[in-house]
Amino acid sequence: MAETQQGTHNKRAIVTGGTRGIGRAIVKELASGSYRGVLFSDIAFIYNSCDECAEELKNEINFPNVKIHSFKSDAASFEQTQATVNEILKKLGGVDILINNAGITKDNLLLRMTEKDFDDVIATNLKSVFNCTKAVVKSMVSQRYGRIINISSVVGLIGNAGQSNYSASKAGIIGFTKSMARELASRGITVNAVAPGFIQTDMTSKLNEEQINKLVQNVPMSRLGKPEDVAKVVAFLCSNDADYITGQVIAVDGGMTM
C-alpha cells in the first residue's frame, strides 16, 4: 500500500464548514501536524459564505509542506457537492480523510418553528453528510483506506428544548455514522463521530453572561470548551493510533453527558 494511504505522511483531507469555529480549528490543527507526526500534503476546505474568512484562514496557515485549498460550495446541495468534490479529487489526486463539519442552527420552540427552519437545518447538517460521504467513498474504497469523521453534538444524544431540528440532525448523523462504519470497515475505512458540548464559537458568542452561566451549570468542568479541544480529538481519529476505532461517538463536553 502506498505511503499516502497507510503512512502518517502526505494525507489529503477535506473539511466542510472550514472557515469558522470548530471547522477552522480543525483545518489549523491538521495543517500543524501536531499530533504524533500526522502530516498532510493537502487540506481542502469547503465553505458556503464569507470569502474573506477563507482568505484569512489560508493566510494564517504558514506550513510550507502543506497546501491549503478553498472551495466555495453549498454542502446541502447534492449537485454542488458532487461537482466540488470531483474538482477536489482531481486536484489532490484522491482523498484520505473527510471531516463533515458543516452546520447551522435555526432554534425555536416547535410551536413557532417553521417548515423552512426545520428543512434548512436538516439539509445543511445531515444531508450534507450524505452528500459529501457519497462523493468521496468510491475513491476511498478503491484505495482501501479512509477516515471519515462526522461532527455531531451532545444534543444529538440528549436533546435540547428549542432545538428539535438541530437535535434531530445531529442524532441522524450518529445513526449514519454507525451504519457507514459497518458498511465500510472491510474496505479499510473507519467512520466515527465527535459530539461537542458547549463550545466557544459564533453560536455561543450570541449568548449573554447569564445564559452562559446557566449552560455551564450542567458541565462538571464548569466552563465552555474551545474549538481546539474538538480539533485535537479529530486529529487523533485521523491518525494511525485510531486504526481500530470505528462506529464510535466521542463526546467532547467537559463531562456533560457522562
For residue 71, give Cα distances in angstroms to 17, 91, 106, 168, 212.
Answer: 10, 11, 25, 28, 34
The Cα-based distances of 107 to 100, 121, 176, 181 in angstroms read 21, 9, 23, 30
The confidence score (pLDDT) of residue 37 equals 55
Structural domain boundaries, residue 193: 3-200+227-249
Residue 166 among the catalytic residues: yes
Q: What is the pLDDT of residue 129?
A: 98
Quick check: is 67 in a domain? yes
Lowest-confidence region among 32-41, 148-157, 161-170, 200-209: 32-41
Q: 35, 47, 145, 166: which is the annotated catalytic residue?
A: 166
Average pLDDT over residues 233-238: 96
The answer as to whether 255 is a domain residue is: no
Question: Where residue 101 sits, what CATH number does that domain have?
Answer: 3.40.50.720
pLDDT digits (tens, 9 = 90+) for 123-143: 999 999 999 999 999 999 999
User: Residue 1's pLDDT is what?
Assistant: 35
Average per-residue pLDDT in the chain? 93
pTM listed for this prediction = 0.94
Query: What is residue 203's predicted lDDT score, i.e. its pLDDT?
Result: 72
Q: Give the pLDDT confidence score for residue 39 in this predicted structure.
A: 81
Q: Is residue 207 part of a domain?
A: no
Distances from the Cα of 160 to the Cαs of 124, 163, 218, in angstroms?
A: 19, 6, 13
Compute the average pLDDT of residues 182-206: 93
> Has residue 213 been placed in a domain?
no
Q: Is the pLDDT of residue 8 over 80?
A: no
pLDDT per residue over 19-48, tens digit each? 999 999 999 999 997 555 568 899 999 999
- In this prediction, residues 206-228 reach a mean pLDDT of 91
Span 53-80, pLDDT tens digits: 999 999 999 888 899 999 999 999 999 9
For the chain, what is the domain count? Answer: 1
Answer whether residue 219 is part of any domain.
no
